[in-house]
Amino acid sequence: MKAFLVDRYGKNTGRIGEAPAPAVGAQDVLIEVHASSINLLDSKIRQGEFKLILPYSLPLVLGNDLAGVVIEVGAQVKRFKPGDEVYARPPEARIGTFAQLIAVNENAIALKPATIDMVQAASLPLVALTAWQVLVETAHIQKGQKVLIHAGSGGVGTVAIQLAKHLGAFVATTTSTANVEWVKSLGADRVIDYKQQDFENVLHDYDIVLNSLGADVLEKSLKVLKPGGQLISISGPPTAQFAQAQGLSWPLRQVMRLLSLGIRRKARKRGVSYTFVFMRANGAQLQQITALVEAGIIKPVIDRSFPFESTAQALQYVEQGRAKGKVVVTLK
């Protein structure tokens, strides 16, 4: 099968080549991939940033999002059958959606929302699950709470704004001048143009911050939270709790503990908590997201799509950080 392969870690590595078709285990579903989307996670994996916690064998088929059609199921699979249209974020140990075929454990898969096409569906799993696992599972967001979502025009931000608004929160976000009115149309109640204002000087008494940006923004975010508030980051630094959940060794747990020591101390001084969330595959949660999509509550946001042959260019485009919503690669 054709696949986008990474032979060595580094910037701008990767090629279209031939890879063996995946083996289908008893609990696996073999999917013909129609579309996949690009995430910053793909770029970080390609550059080797996750070598310690995700020790992949090279050559590696890249890709963390898919929409496609089931063509074969393992002997123990009960929820899916050939011909089903599905979407998924595969478990992190078995990524590889930049390929014509992929075998995915059935617990990571959900039926594709009937109201959207394959390209739109492929844009959702990773970012929608990230938003869900931050806002619903970790923050336990409540109606009437105030939530700051950084980078509102990005992949996670566009979905998180819609989800938080649906759950009854007052939503603030940060974005650039060109996107202010656009993120308002997604449901943001307060928009901070980071080119014109410093968010930490104008926002106060927030319950939750979803951070996807760098260390400087993370630290400034502490200032907008009220006592008891939650600072939740998907961009790090990781914590010892995360390392333990990943099953990492004791030395790596200590490394993670030290990496997050500074922000955890500063959070404690302000009476708030710091949590690092590294999203994981979850078909049951994705099925709940399907219901929200079919109800028109969450709408996919696509910046542009590339043909599979241009996967390298699609990765470069995402790395520039200017995409509004998601970038998709089409295979069918």
Is residue 130 domain-shared with residue 272, that is, in the same domain?
yes
Domain co-membership, 54 together with 152: no
Residues 188 and 135 in one domain: yes
If asked whether residues 239 and 314 sit together in one domain, one would say no
pLDDT tens digits, 181-211: 999 999 999 999 999 999 999 999 999 999 9
Domain-located, residue 287: no
pLDDT-derived band at 256 (thresholds 50, 70, 90) equals very high
81 & 172 share domain: no
For range 219-226, the mean pLDDT: 98
Q: Which two tokens stand for residue 268?
A: 């404690």
Secondary structure class of 223 (helix, strand, coil): helix
Check whether residue 189 and residue 266 sit in a common domain: yes
Residue 13 belongs to some domain of the structure = yes
What average pLDDT does range 127-152 have in this prediction? Answer: 98
Structural domain of residue 62, as residue ranges? 2-124+300-330
- Do both 120 and 167 map to the same domain? no
* pLDDT confidence tier of residue 330, bands split at 50, 70 and 90: very high
Average pLDDT over residues 160-172: 98
pLDDT for position 154: 95
Sign of the CA dihedral 247, 252, 257, 262?
negative
| Same domain, yes or no: 33 and 151 | no
Whole-angstrom Cα distance, residue 152 to residue 172? 9
pLDDT score of 53: 84
Predicted confidence (pLDDT) per residue in 62-76, tens digit: 999 999 999 999 999
Which stretch, 142-146, 235-239, 243-247, has highest mean pLDDT?
Answer: 142-146
Amino acid residing at 230: Q
Nearest to residue 199, comparing CAs of 190, 186, 212, 208? 190
pLDDT value at 88 more than 90? yes
Rounded Cα distance between 97 and 66, Å, is 6
Please tell me whether residues 120 and 132 are part of one structural domain: no
Of the listed ranges 38-47, 144-153, 239-248, the least confidently predicted one is 239-248
* Domain count for the chain: 2
The yes-or-no verdict on residue 119 having pLDDT over 90 is yes
| The token pair that represents 115 in the structure block | 């109201």
Residue 290 lies in a domain: no
Facing residues of 272 across strands? none
Condensed to tens digits (0 to 9), the pLDDT of residues 296-322 reads: 999 999 999 999 999 999 999 999 988
Closest alpha carbon to 222 in 256, 199, 189, 193: 199
For residue 34, is it within any domain? yes
| CATH (domain of 262) | 3.40.50.720
Kindly state whether residue 292 falls inside one of the protein's structural domains.
no
Domain membership of residue 282 (yes or no) is no
Q: 270 and 203, same structural domain?
A: yes
Q: Would you say residue 92 has pLDDT above 90?
A: yes
Tell me how far apart the alpha carbons of residues 154 and 174 are, in angstroms, rounded to a whole number. 10
Residue 57 lies inside a defined structural domain of this protein: yes
Is the pLDDT reported for residue 270 higher than 90? yes
Same domain? For 117 and 154 the reply is no
Q: At 99, give phi and psi (nearest 5°).
A: -160, 160
pLDDT tens track for 274-301:
999 999 999 999 999 999 999 999 999 9
Regarding predicted confidence, which is higher, 321 or 273? 273
Do 107 and 144 have their domain in common? no
Residue 156 lies in a domain: yes
If you average pLDDT over residues 35-42, what whole number do you get?
A: 96
Q: Please check the confidence at residue 25 and state whether its pLDDT lies above 90.
A: yes
pLDDT mean across residues, the chain: 96
Report the C-alpha gap between 99 and 237 in whole angstroms.
31
Q: Indicate which CATH number applies to the domain containing 117.
A: 3.90.180.10
Written as six digits, the tokens of 260 are 């997050």
